[in-house]
Structure 1
Amino acid sequence: MVLLKLKLVQRLIICDTAIDFVNHEGVLTFFVVCFVNGQLTDKTTTPNASGSDVVEAVVNLIREACIFPNDKKYLRRLAYVESMDGLEANTYRPNYYGGIWQIDQDMFQQIATAIVLDDAKKMIKQSIGIDWSKVQWVDLAKPLYSGLAAALFTLLKAGKNGIPRGIHYQANFWVNTYRPGHLANVFFTKSNKLETGCKRTNTLDLVFALDSSTSLAPQEFDAAKQFVKYIVDSFEISSDTTQVGVIRFSTTLDGGFNLNAHTSADGLKKAIDGVQYKSGGTHTAEAIEYAINNCFTTTNGARLGSSKILILVTDGRSENRNETLRQAAAAKAKGISIFAIGVSAQVDERELNAVASQPTCTHVQILNSFADLDSLKAEIEQVSCKASEFNLDGHEMGSIVVQYDDINTIKR
């Protein structure tokens, strides 16, 4: 009999499905497991494992460990394009070990010798516990190793330009860097077959807190409103799917609206346009507290069991930093994910990083242009797609103990 204690379990399904473990003994992990002969098996490190659950677990681990945070869905698409998530018959062919992401031996050698990847390899060792200097090509038959190799190879080829956004541009990038001599249409066609969005059964309650303090110019506040509308366009707005609320804050909190105020996209965007700039102090702590005690309540439209996200749009220079961090911690404890968006040339990134949920590489962004927000939209969708880590009343689930000595023994 073995006892395994975990901090949070997002979902647990027996055999061929997924379980997520977060922050186990200080190391971020995200596993797909299966009970085999009474033992708990991590399918992300099981040779020749395949399937969409395995791929998505690997991609999420890599993203949340901040190894490859803003890949614009490229790594997920790449797994399907290369091997249909490992389900193509020749994925694990004799004497070939490239795995789900089909990393050829010469590609693996480029990764092994590239000095520019040293920092990424250090991060892999620190966050996932894999010493890349000891990895062999044969190890890539394990999905996690194949995915990491694909991420490293892509980082090597993308360089400072990063991953292009959009399937068309990624198809050309794939031909130029990953599969020279192939047709871009192969990537394009297969990527379109892949369902990039999730089938969300849970609802999404999304609240924007807009800073209109004196330290922000009126045009920066207008840019913040345009940002809100840009994000809103990514979601279906209705009382049954996604609801959006807005808080406008400076010295006072007013001029916004609750989650249940607008149930259509057109009405919502008109209401966003109507939120007026009002200069004053930067009372960020009060804005977060208001979101907790007013916006995310059933009285004002929040729904039990919904994914709850607060997007703080600010320059990050609050009047009371300690109180701001205290309120942010209180929000997270109630199951509210916080994204922090910087909208000023004088933004305080340290405060944004302290306020935002982890990992900050996917929850903090400086607003330079709307074209840079594709990764943020994808991350919001990802958070809303995840199984809830909290009870319906918004309280965090406690640690659990999974005890197993046969296939049917699971105890909380």
Structure 2
Amino acid sequence: MKKYALLILVVLVNVDDTKSQTDFTRQENAKGEHVVQAVVDAIRSHCIFASDRLFLRRLALVQSNDGEDAKTYRDSYHGGIWQVDKEKYEQTRTCPGILEYVCENIKTRLRINWQRTTWRDLRKPLYSGMAASLFIMYTLTFVVDGSGSIGRDGFNTVRQFMIEVTNRLDIGPKMTQVAAVTFSHRALVEFYLNDHSTERSLNQAISEIEHPSITVFAIGVGNKINENELKVISSDPYCTHVFILRDFSEIETIINAIQKRACRGVDVSDPIKAFHQNPLDSTKFIKCDVEGNMYVIQCPSGEQYHQDRNKNPNTNAK
């Protein structure tokens, strides 16, 4: 009598796990940290906005607390988790300029034809995240450090970099738009996104961004001070902006000097172009030589002056 083996396969299905496979990134009004992270991962992994350096993630938190804000999905607004206004969305929908390739990438990798989307689609987290990414790529904003930490040479390098970057873009009302903001002790909008519609006009505006004038005094207290570091962070000339004290009891001795120099503080790194209310005050043009002595690099009269820092600053010798 033949014997047969009976093989029974038992398949266990975890109902909760199947639910977890739901793609909430394409579900209207979905929210939460896990949803936002899934959107960011999808966008980056498909090389749509691969170099956002966590900006998109932070933006979702700021705009709507990852969609947890009660106003995120209000009836009359469809900007979604990233709160993309209809006007901003419409600027991306036609895939102008540099967005043409990105939109093709979205269509190929995510099977979304961006030109056929509507603003209401942004209620789906993935669509809202993509709209934010496209708008960021379409509208380029330079935020430039105008503080004394980078100096005039560094600032000029930054301006040249801005020009080189924008020269590779298609500038125009329906193409790439550029804005610039400088900051030091406060933020200053140099020009807005719609201010310049041609490459020539934009380059001129970038060239005219001025390096803010900031006076930095570096004070070291004690006997273990690195004077070279103080010289690096202080304003020029360092011989009038660096102070080394034995202890805090000596602070009173420099307050008067700081007050006087701060009141007349100007950017002396390019004195020929600098404007001074009192051109007869030659100390506004002073620099330091390698030995720490002060000298005037450009006086209103065109003459060269030299003075030792240990002498009376009002006594100049040719």
Normalised by the length of structure 1, the TM-score is 0.31
Question: Could you say which structure has the larger radius of gyration?
Answer: 2
Normalised by the length of structure 2, the TM-score is 0.39
Q: Identify which of structures 1 and 2 has the higher relative contact order when contacts are C-alpha pairs closer than 8 Å and 6+ apart.
A: 1
